Amino acid sequence: MTNVHDNILGLIGNTPLVKLNEVTKEIPATVYAKLESFNPGHSTKDRIAIHIIEAAERKGLLKPGSTVVETTSGNTGFSIAMVCIIKGYHCILAVSDKTKKEKIAYLKALGATVYICPANVAADDPRSYYEVAKRVASETPDSIYINQYFNELNIDAHYRTTGPEIWEQTEGKITHLIACTGTGGTLSGSAKFLKEKNPAIKVIGVDASGSILKSYHETGEIHKEDIHPYQIEGMGKNLIPSALLFDKIDEFVRVNDEMAAYRTREIALKEAIMGGYTTGAVTQGLLQYANSHEFTKDDLVVVLFPDHGSRYITKVYSDEWMAEQRFVNNGVHNYDEVYKTELIK
């Protein structure tokens, strides 16, 4: 029998590359999107969830009935909850109040206990989702804390899977890798592998307006004046994760909520790909990068689409939500005109 698995975890990895044709038509390079929504948990975070949990099992840190605790903007939580169901563990998650209700409902449907924490507080504030997860883990017997932001296994998961997949799928012809940065594990692990194969590959991280990662990469210092609230989930940070290998990244570009939102919807309309908010963000990052760098017809670019748009139906795909953010004018989207504005630069 072929393509038959003992359980859903066997579907993790080996996600496809799909060529982008319309949203990238002004770029001479060939651009492929790696669709991580084809993982069973519909995001790239499936890779780290199973990798970190199985590493803990090998060390004897988990047994049936143990508890797994984590900080998440949603996707990591879905993946951990899914793995915990199959392996017989309890799951406790701390999320920020930026997380939409449907995501929280999804987490609860997978049996997770969910703590909702304020987003706009310092990372070391006891109310932050980082600190709440740490406290819950310390107070819960027979538990482990995934700690994806500071766990080297986050990097290792992508070094072992995502990077090799991209290399093999492009037959080693990849010239540029572009991905959003949150914990940094996806881009760092993939970049580490690919640069070992070919140091000339350019790696571009996409940061959010309101985050400190881009300026930290450029100066080695935290610029607190960069920090302000923003809407894109699972991207950017107000702390420096050790899972983000800055030395593997050649350049950062920073994108704002509005253009990432428009771009997400454009990808659905023009490529028929229902991606999450970060799908629009990474594509916007690609186009901003292309404004200041010369691509050629021989370049082969891979952009990583981290998750599925079904988790954002009441957010970026909602005309009402877009209007609340003042991203639309009476529900009419003139994409071609929007993309000609100064916002793209």
Catalytic residues: 45
| Tokens matching residue 250 | 């050649």
Cβ of 93: how many Cβ atoms within 10 Å?
A: 30
**H-assigned helices in the chain:** 45-58, 75-87, 101-109, 129-139, 152-160, 162-169, 185-197, 213-219, 257-271, 277-292, 319-324, 335-338
Cβ of 25: how many Cβ atoms within 10 Å?
A: 10
Separation between Cα atoms, residue 147 and residue 138, nearest integer Å: 12
Cβ of 225: how many Cβ atoms within 10 Å?
A: 8
| Tokens matching residue 123 | 């990372």
| Tokens matching residue 232 | 């894109």
| AA letter at 214 | K
CB 287 within 8 A of CB 242: no
300-305, strands of its sheet edge to edge: 17-19, 30-35, 300-305, 176-180, 202-208, 251-255
Nearest to 133 by CA among 123, 281, 288: 123
143-145, strands of its sheet edge to edge: 113-117, 90-96, 67-72, 143-145
